[in-house]
Amino acid sequence: MIKIAPSILAADFTRLGEEIASVKTADMLHFDVMDGEFVPNISFGLPVIKDVRRVTDMPLDVHLMIRFPARYIAEFCQRGADVVVLHVESEEPWEIKKAIRDVKAQGKKVGLSIKPGTPVSALEPYAESLDQILIMSVEPGFGGQGFIPESLGKIEQAAQIVARLGITCDIEVDGGINRVTARQCESAGATVLVAGSSVFRAADRAEEIRILRGN
């Protein structure tokens, strides 16, 4: 069954503890870190994940939309990240390889993400080491954007790489996930769906998570 990861970027930060509790039936909590350099927005970071870790035992899926993520891996891991996802566009290839090793050395799962304009082939050199591939279906930086339909082909390509390598690797899709695009992504091979607006804007968030899961 497909996993749902609500993005707290769409939550009400004045009531973050309650907001997190309202989505506790989800599979993971998606934590969008933005530095204003890699993406044209600034969100939150290390102090917030430390407090979020204290209020939930949900797996924390940390999406690093930052330059030089390798510098912060140990701290995000030590403050509670369960999955650390970095962008292939954010570092030199040798730094990406080192960052992947560092996340694993911390005993955490590692993911690698590509922006809409980056081909899936960019993931190939690292694929064998990954626990998760993140296909961005919107330009990273903001919630509430429309799903980019070309993402479906990229999900299929990523699923083909995972099958060909015979590895256990989630395929996560992030951006513009709603009741329609959720099913399209699942059919294309996605195994994890990030949902910010569609969950946090719903009147009944548990019900929305159930519907997005497709059960």
Least distance to Zn ion, CB of residue 143, Å = 8
Region of 19-27, 95-103, 152-160, 172-180 interacting with ligand DX5 (CB under 6 A): 172-180
Least distance to Zn ion, CB of residue 200, Å = 13
User: Scanning the structure block, which residue is given the tokens 């070309």?
Assistant: 150
Region of 13-21, 29-37, 144-152, 158-166 interacting with Zn ion (CB under 5 A): 29-37
Q: Does 111 bind ligand DX5 (CB under 6 A)?
A: no
Q: Does 35 bind ligand DX5 (CB under 6 A)?
A: no
User: Scanning the structure block, which residue is given the tokens 């009400």?
Assistant: 12
80 or 143: CB nearest ligand DX5: 143
CB within 8 Å of 57: residues ≥ 6 apart: none
Asked whether 156 and 188 are in contact (CB, 8 A), the reply is: yes
91 alpha-carbon distance from chain centroid: 18
Least distance to ligand DX5, CB of residue 135, Å = 11
CB within 8 Å of 148: residues ≥ 6 apart: 116, 137, 138, 175, 176
CA distance 53 to 81: 8
What single-letter DSSP state applies at residue 42? B
Q: For residue 108, which phi and psi values (nearest 5 degrees)? A: -110, 170
Q: Does 32 bind Zn ion (CB under 5 A)?
A: yes
Residue 108 corresponds to which tokens in the numbers above?
């955490």
Least distance to ligand DX5, CB of residue 43, Å = 9
Region of 123-131, 150-158, 162-170, 192-200 interacting with ligand DX5 (CB under 6 A): 192-200
- The contact set with ligand DX5 (CB under 6 A) reads 7, 9-10, 30, 32, 63, 65, 138, 140-145, 174-177, 194-198
- The contact set with Zn ion (CB under 5 A) reads 32, 63, 174
